[in-house]
Structure 1
Amino acid sequence: MKIYPIECGNLKLDGGAMFGVVPKTIWTRTNPADDNNMIDIATRSLLIEDGDRLILIDTGMGNKQNEKFFGYYYLWGNHDIDSSLAKYGFTRDDVTDVFLTHLHFDHCGGAIQWNKDRTGYEPAFKNAKFWSNKDHWQWAVEPNPREKASFLTENIQPIKESGQLNFIDVPQDNFNGTTPLGFDVIFVDGHTDKQMLPKIQYKDKTIVYTADLIATAGHVPLVYVMGYDTRPLLTIKEKEIFLDKAVDENWILAFEHDAHNQLATLKRTERGVRIDETFTFNEVFGE
């Protein structure tokens, strides 16, 4: 097995929305804001090469939305999924599986693209199976008012219409989910219903892709919860369980949205669980 970080593109989001009730004077210590209160955000996927399988975890926003849509997100940098795949010798057509942690547009938008004559949509990974779970899929296709702007029909329905949609079973114990893809899954419900966090055994280490449970290294402290979360008190409970396990079992956290930190380890302090060290994939795994 090999794992590669895939940089799908960078954007900026409002720091207050990203940190909820945490005061700006505190969160700017780890996530500096510009004059418009915007902070740097990545959309970083993971690519797992495992035998005949090439598994992409999340896809970023994609590029099919209009200029007005992207105008809200202040895109910056020159990352894109195609050049990032090419860096490791792959193309979209090589991807066999696309695992979607959840169906918010910044995680699944890149799964679907315009067709050639722009009359409709098609999978951006034509040879891949797409993986979600039934509970979250239902949550996304019948969205609540709070999340409706994040669950875009053009990102979701074409996956089902393609015939490439598959579902992961949801276990009774959210922290012990399994997949047919060779890694386990942690299910969490605070940000959105049945978000899935891949837990991967790799080179004698455990990597957990934190998606939107812990968006950046700055979000590790227990009560640092995004304003976007549908059930913030549940997020805190889930984070507490997660952080304890991460320290006890020496997990490496892989951040999806941290533009400046790819990986981190944790430690216990008098103030609670905090970042111990941050790394790049190359520093830890030589990749």
Structure 2
Amino acid sequence: MKLYPIEAGNFKLDGGAMFGVVPKTLWNKTNPADENNLIDIAARCLLVEDGKRLILIDTGMGDKQSEKFFGYYSLWGDDTIDKSLAKYGFHRDDITDVFMTHLHFDHCGGSVEWNKDRTGYQPAFKNAVFWSNDNHWDWATKPNPREKASFLSENILPMQESGQLKFIERPQADFGISKELDLGILYVDGHTEKMMIPHIQYQDKTIVFMADLLPTAGHLPLPYVMGYDTRPLLTLPEKEKFLNTAAENNYYLFLEHDAHNQIITVEQTEKGVRLKEVFTCEDIIG
């Protein structure tokens, strides 16, 4: 097995929204805001090469939305999925599977693109199976008013219409090994319904793709919960349970949204679970 970080593009989000009820005087120490109160955010995806399979975990925002839409997110840098794939000798047509942790636009927008004459949409990975789960799919395709702006039909429905969508069978427990992709998957409901957190056994390490359970290293303290979470009081115990397990087992946490910290480990302290070490992707996965 080989792992490759895939940078899908950087953007900015309001720091207050990213940290909920936590005062700016606290979160600004780890995630400094600009003059517009915006903080740096990454869309760092992960490519898993396992035998003949190339599994891409999440796909970022994509590029099919309007200039007005992207103007809300202050895009910066020149990273794209195609550039990142090419860096490692791959093309998007090589991807066999796209695993979507959840269907918010900044995680799955790159899964769908305009068709050739821009009259409609098509899967951006023509040879891939797109993986979600049935509970989250129903949640995303019948969105509540609070999340409606994050679940965009043009990002979601073309995957089903193409016949390339499949659902991962969920276990009764909140953690299980998927028979479809041989990934360990933790299911959490605080951010959105049945978000999937993949666990990857790599050499002698457990690499965990954190999605929005832990957006940045600055979110380690338990009360530091995003304003975007639909059930923040559920995020708290989910996050606490996971972080205790991560500290006990020395998991390597792959941070999708932290523009400045790529992979971290954590440890127990008198204040709770806190940052232990920071690594680059090159340090851990080459």
Number of the residue aligned with 1:126: 126
CA distance in 2, matches of 1:259, 1:56: 19
2:205 alignment partner AA: K
Number of the residue aligned with 1:147: 147
Q: Secondary structure at the match of 1:17?
A: helix
Number of the residue aligned with 2:99: 99
Q: Secondary structure at the match of 2:175?
A: helix
Number of the residue aligned with 1:14: 14
Tell me how far 1:259 sits from its aligned partner.
Answer: 0.5
2:157 alignment partner AA: Q
CA contact (8 A) 1:169 1:177 kept: no
Deviations along 1:76-110, whole A, 9 cap, x unmatched?
A: 01111100000000000000000000000000000
CA distance in 1, matches of 2:142, 2:159: 16
CA distance in 1, matches of 2:233, 2:172: 20
Is 2:202 the counterpart of 1:202? yes
Tell me how far 1:283 sits from its aligned partner.
Answer: 1.3
1:248 alignment partner AA: E
Deviations along 1:131-190, whole A, 9 cap, x unmatched?
A: 000000000000001000000000011010010000011222112352421211000000
Number of the residue aligned with 1:30: 30
Number of the residue aligned with 1:241: 241
CA contact (8 A) 2:135 2:193 kept: yes
Deviations along 1:4-38, whole A, 9 cap, x unmatched?
A: 00000000000000000011000011100000000
CA distance in 2, matches of 1:190, 1:230: 6
CA distance in 2, matches of 1:171, 1:146: 28
- Number of corresponding residues: 286
Number of the residue aligned with 2:222: 222
Tell me how far 1:193 sits from its aligned partner.
Answer: 0.1
Number of the residue aligned with 1:114: 114
Matches within 5 A, 1:180-195: 180-195=180-195
Number of the residue aligned with 2:57: 57
1:131 alignment partner AA: W
Number of the residue aligned with 2:39: 39
CA distance in 1, matches of 2:176, 2:82: 33
2:186 alignment partner AA: I
CA contact (8 A) 1:53 1:95 kept: yes
Q: Secondary structure at the match of 2:98?
A: strand
1:73 alignment partner AA: Y
Identity, % of aligned positions:
69
Matches within 5 A, 1:149-188: 149-188=149-188
CA distance in 1, matches of 2:182, 2:117: 37
Q: TM-score, normalised by structure 1?
A: 0.99
2:86 alignment partner AA: A
* Deviation larger for 189-198 or 215-224: 215-224
1:197 alignment partner AA: I
Deviations along 1:35-66, whole A, 9 cap, x unmatched?
A: 00000000010000010000000000000000
1:32 alignment partner AA: P
CA distance in 2, matches of 1:96, 1:279: 28
Q: TM-score, normalised by structure 2?
A: 0.99
**Aligned residues: CA RMSD:** 0.7
CA contact (8 A) 2:170 2:176 kept: no
Q: Which runs of 4+ in 1 moved over 4 A?
A: none
CA contact (8 A) 1:177 1:187 kept: no
CA distance in 2, matches of 1:175, 1:244: 15
CA contact (8 A) 1:170 1:177 kept: no
CA contact (8 A) 2:113 2:122 kept: yes
For structure 1, list consecutive stretches of 5 or more residues without a partner in the other structure. Answer: none
CA contact (8 A) 1:199 1:209 kept: yes
CA contact (8 A) 2:132 2:167 kept: yes
